[in-house]
Amino acid sequence: TSTTATSVSISGDISSQLHAGYSHPLTRSWQAERQLTKEMLIYPLFITDNPDEETPIPSLPNQYRRGVNRLIPFLAPLVRKGLRSVMLFGVPLHPSAKDALGTAADDPSGPVIQAIRLLRSRLPQLYITTDVCLCEYTSHGHCGILREDGTLDNAQSVDRISDVALAYAVAGAHCVAPSDMNDGRVRGIKLKLIEAGLAHRVLLMSYSAKFSGCLYGPFRDAAGSCPSFGDRRCYQLPPGGRGLARRAIQRDMNEGADIIMVKPASSYLDIIRDAKDLAQDLPVAAYQVSGEFAMIHAAAKAGVFDLKAMAFESTEGILRAGAGIVVSYFVPEFLDWL
């Protein structure tokens, strides 16, 4: 006799009954391989050479260019809320700050080196990563040193970029992150770190799979780093170039990268997964870039969705794809939301 009389037949396939696995908020969270935590987040900061400046960046909602004097008042409350790491970008505004060699990039009195020293002494818990590139400092706005014909001189660029990375490491950066995409720069930087006796404590995070495209617009606005001629398609990857990205990831692993980064994030989730597969034993980072952030803000403003909901949904997608570290302009909000 049946004690649990039911009109539903149970003779069919029961494997299709999925709801029980996620009908409770806790069990929903169990379905994710990785939960977003504050430790995963790196917050990008734009630092100018005018110490007292604090100027909003119009195309990048809630983001500012700040001088070194503004950093501690801004960051101390965020550190109290759980901020673990920042990524520094220099934004030289003095008209004389740019030249063909990007000399200002490792100027000891320049904004990045000043900021590294200040943050290391005043906020010792904060992990300091530094973007390493020349485009903010070159008169032509490209990410390296150019030949007469306007193409990148790879050997000279690697030599210069590895000097800049070393200068940041010497100043106290925990992590150097080359975003220039010159061939062989990971090896060049690693060798200089080894030679200087810093390789055991300075991490090298390579922007290995960095794609060209239209999603860096607000950043170039913020950093004043738009190329004065041409574009970056000869050194940043073509958006369809999955094979190239895989080769770049493998190359950078072999050259000594400690972390592999993919950038942008949401249009390149397959590449993040490729990175996780190829670099199984390395942390994988993804950069939700300025254009992605600005798009989410614009759509939220237009009523397409709720900002917070989309900030979570996009970031969780990036984690699901395989990233364990996310560089994001949403970090201050996440510190409140998490």
Q: Binding residues for Zn ion, per CB under 5 A? A: 133, 135, 143
| Contact stretch for ligand PBG (CB under 6 A) within 31-39, 99-107, 214-222, 239-247 | 214-222
> Which three-class secondary structure state does DSSP give residue 83?
coil
- Compare residues 114 and 225 and give the one whose CB is closer to ligand PBG: 225
Among residues 90, 275, 282, 251, the alpha carbon closest in space to that of 186 is found at 251
Report the partner that residue 129 touches, choosing among ligand PBG, Zn ion, none (CB closer than 5 to 8 A by kind).
none
| DSSP category for residue 302 | T
Does position 43 interact with ligand PBG (CB under 6 A)? The reply is no
Query: Which residues, 239 to 298, sit near ligand PBG by CB under 6 A?
Result: 289-290
Q: What is d(CA 299, CA 132) in angstroms, rounded to the nearest whole number?
A: 31
- DSSP H or E segment with residue 128: strand 127-132
Buried b (16+ CB within 10 A) or exposed e, 185-214: bbbbbbebbeeeebbeebbbbbbbbbbbbe
Helices marked H in the chain — which ranges?
Answer: 25-30, 71-80, 111-122, 154-171, 185-195, 217-223, 242-254, 269-278, 290-301, 307-321, 331-337
Report the partner that residue 290 touches, choosing among Zn ion, ligand PBG, none (CB closer than 5 to 8 A by kind).
ligand PBG
Does position 135 interact with ligand PBG (CB under 6 A)? The reply is yes
Amino acid at 289: V
CB atoms within 10 A of CB 324: 17
Does position 219 interact with ligand PBG (CB under 6 A)? The reply is yes
Q: Is 210 a catalytic residue?
A: yes
Catalytic residue among 210, 276, 301, 308: 210
* List 38, 117, 174, 220, residue binding ligand PBG (CB under 6 A): 220
Does position 143 interact with ligand PBG (CB under 6 A)? The reply is yes
- Compare residues 69 and 159 and give the one whose CB is closer to ligand PBG: 159
Min CB(190)–ligand PBG separation in Å:
19
Q: Is the dihedral of CA 265, 208, 191, 254 positive or negative?
A: positive
Min CB(71)–ligand PBG separation in Å:
19
- Compare residues 84 and 185 and give the one whose CB is closer to Zn ion: 185
Q: Where are the beta strands (DSSP E) in 23-109?
A: 41-48, 54-56, 64-66, 85-91
Catalytic residue among 263, 276, 301, 308: 263
Phi, psi of 178 (to 5 degrees): -70, 125
Angle between helices 307-321 and 269-278 (to 10 degrees): 30
Report the partner that residue 219 touches, choosing among ligand PBG, Zn ion, none (CB closer than 5 to 8 A by kind).
ligand PBG
Does position 106 interact with ligand PBG (CB under 6 A)? The reply is no
| Contact stretch for ligand PBG (CB under 6 A) within 27-35, 153-161, 213-221, 269-277 | 213-221
Min CB(186)–Zn ion separation in Å:
15
The site for ligand PBG (CB under 6 A) is made up of 131, 133, 135, 143, 179, 216, 219-220, 289-290
Catalytic residue annotation = 210, 263
